[in-house]
Structure 1
Amino acid sequence: MSPGPAKGGNEESTTAPLPLLSEPVEGVPEVITRESELIECADAIASGFGPVALDAERASGYRYGQAAYLVQLRREGAGTWLIDPVFLPDMEPLDQAIGTGEWILHAATQDLTCLREVGLVPRQIFDTELGARLLGLPRVGLASVIEHYLGISLAKEHSAVDWSTRPLPEPWLRYAALDVEVLTEVRNLMGADLAAQDKSEWARQEFASLLDWRPVQRQDPWRRTSGLHKIRQPRVLATVRELWWERDRIARDRDTSPGRVIPDTVLVDIAQAAPAAPGDLPRGHRAIQRNQRAWLAAVERARDLSDDELPPATVKSDGPPPQRSWANRDPLAAERLTATRAALTFFADERTIPIENVCSPDPLRRVVWRPPTERSVEGFEAALAERGVRPWQQEIVAPLLVAAFEDHPDA
């Protein structure tokens, strides 16, 4: 692995601050807002060479949904470009210009959906955050990865701002341009490290899996409401559900983050109060009064539901029971899982990789709880494959499962 920034001096000396990456080499580009400018950008990108570094800025916590409000890209020979998706929601000309070229993204799953929404679809991906995890770097944020490889500091003071603001302030645009300024250099150094650690094939399979990645659509998203664990009564749960959907409707109509309409904690307070009139609503939050008719209507809808229409306190899972109960319910399965995890931990420590990147906990638990009929390497590889485990992971985990089952055979 390439070394991080050198530390000079003796133990008593103070480490000098790292140089700050504060200005794009070619300056801050103008934001593209017209179709003719997009065509010019596409022509430049097409005439460039090498991979294309991309990033997108969203207005999470400010707007409804996860739409992109700025797209940044850079390619050798083409320079850095900033594009406004508000004015240019269809970037197909740029997608055609990139073609089968490799994308460099950091934490790709954060941006892939919003980039697809504007017509940008990758054919190859190199994810520097995922690569950093495979290499076992202690910190995998973009600033930390840049610091590790280039010995420079990247300012992140504008990462949580409202990117739907127009016009975008110049310091924000500088920050956005810097996010793609050195990604290609980092990618090349990281690629060399992956090869040196014999992890290139691991990375290739992980990056390829991102091409088909889609966010999980939750069946009952309201169940993620903070504080819901305190509620067990079905009628109150139904009230939370109705209030959650009402808040979502208000947020969508206003194009604002649901949490800015009313926080989860206040939503739960309303449900527990079960108000029948404005005077029964909890006090102390302006959003309650602002939308009191909507909240009361939601509570009324929950009150009118029949018992058969009330949600259960918990949703039955199709997976194995919680691991804490395995020792009582199936001691043999518990021993096999413990043995496999111990072997995985040893492997992960030896190869400097987080254990969850070798195999996620969920597919491992499922295979141990309901093992295949054929308990050979091939049998376990097939069972792991059915649960989305990549081939490189199967090759590591399947033999460990065989050994655990042989050491803890059926009675």
Structure 2
Amino acid sequence: IARQLDLAPHRVLQDEAMVDIAINRPKTSEELAKIIGRRTRLESPPFQKWLQALKDSLSAPESNWPALRIASTSIPPTKVWRQKNAPGYARLMHARSKLLEISMAQKIPIENLFPPEALKQICWAKPPIKTADLPAYVKELAMRHKVRDWQLKLCEGEICFALTQTEPPATPPPAPVYEPNEGD
């Protein structure tokens, strides 16, 4: 339903309401409506459909239940990169340093200049060995992370340079601070 309406799931039915439903296990759509109350943004909530989904999930065999913990495919926090992926840490520190220079020159906050998550993904993975392959590599990962064309054009060269680095910069980049000019 949320996908069809292009809404976040908690906008369709609040998390608190879902927990109450799981605890109280209503048997009728009237009981379900009473539990949900005003905790949905839908004008006419599909109580019958939700009740059927509840019944189906309660009768499903345990083998069909979702995993309690999903294996993480995310990268670790940057504070542990130096220990877990020293080359990735070096690449990230160089990239941040270079992007900070661009950020200050362009008067664009660094997080708007290039999405931090995309930069981390690009720097974490082992890049191609051939320097000539770096632009295509950066572009592919950037597009996968929905980096805009203008962001890529501004930053691609500096990121490619950073990917060739194996040691962190002598002085780590300062924490990015953007101070807009008056009128910005």
Q: Does 1:386 align with 2:146?
A: no
Instruction: Report the CA distance shift for 1:375/1:342 in structure 2 as closer, same or farther (over 3 A).
Output: farther
Identity of aligned residues (%): 22
How far, CA to CA, are the matches of 1:317 and 1:300 in structure 2? 30
Matched, 1:360 2:115: yes
Matches within 5 A, 1:76-225: 225=9
TM-score, normalised with respect to structure 1: 0.31
Task: Select which of 107, 110, 125 maps to 1:370.
Answer: 125
Q: Distance in 1 between matches of 2:130 and 2:118?
A: 16
Separation (CA, whole Å) in 2 of partners of 1:308 and 1:294: 23
Pair 1:328–1:406, CA change in 2 (3 A): closer
Instruction: Please tell me whether Structure 1 or Structure 2 has the larger radius of gyration of its CA atoms.
Output: 1
Aligned length: 152
**Structure with higher strand content:** 1
- Native 8 Å contact 1:326 1:334 kept in 2: yes
Residues 1:284 and 1:374: Cα distance change in structure 2 (over 3 Å): closer
Q: CA deviation at 1:264?
A: 4.3
Tell whether 2:159 aligns with 1:397.
yes
Letter in 1 for 2:113: V
Q: 1:305/1:274 Cα in 2 relative to 1: closer, same or farther (>3 Å)?
A: farther
Q: Which amino acid is 2:104 matched to?
A: D
Q: How does 1:227-376 map to 2 (within 5 A)?
A: 259=12, 262-271=13-22, 273-278=23-28, 283=35, 285=37, 293-316=48-71, 318=73, 320-374=75-129, 376=131
Q: Deviations over 1:271-314 (max 9, x none)?
A: 3x1515349756471679x7654443221111111222112245
Offset of residue 348 of structure 1: 0.6
CA distance in 1, matches of 2:124, 2:46: 48
Structure with more contact order per residue of length (Cα contacts < 8 Å, sep ≥ 6) = 2
After TM superposition, give the deviation of residue 344 of structure 1 in Å: 1.3
Q: Assess, with a 3 A threshold, how the Cα gap between structure 1 residues 336 and 350 changes in structure 2: closer, same or farther.
A: same
d(CA) in 1 for partners of 2:103 and 2:130? 23
Structure 1 CA distance for aligned equivalents of residues 166 and 86 of structure 2: 15
Structure 1 gaps, min length 5: 1-63, 67-220, 227-257
The structure carrying a bigger helix percent of its residues is 2
Separation in structure 2 between the aligned mates of residue 263 and residue 269 of structure 1, nearest angstrom: 10
Counterpart of 2:37, as a letter, is H
Preserved contact between residue 372 and residue 383 of structure 1 (Cα < 8 Å): yes
Q: Residue in 2 aligned with 1:41?
A: none
For the 8 Å contact 1:348–1:355, the answer to whether it is kept is: yes
* Alpha-carbon distance change, 284 to 383 in structure 1, aligned in 2, over 3 angstroms: closer
On the 8 A contact 2:134/2:160 being kept in 1, the answer is yes
Give 1:365 shift. 1.8
The TM-score with structure 2 as length reference comes to: 0.60
Q: Closer, same or farther in 2 for the Cα pair 1:399/1:332, shift >3 Å?
A: closer
CA distance in 2 between counterparts of 1:295 and 1:314 reads 24
* Alignment check: 8 A CA contact 1:345 1:355 kept: yes
- Residue pair 2:128, 2:134 contacting (<8 A) in 1 also: no
Pair 1:331–1:225, CA change in 2 (3 A): farther
Question: 1:291 & 1:366 partners in 2: Cα distance?
Answer: 40
State the one-letter code of the partner of 2:160: A
Distance in structure 2 (CA, Å) of the matches to 1:280 and 1:314: 31
1:407 alignment partner, SS class: coil
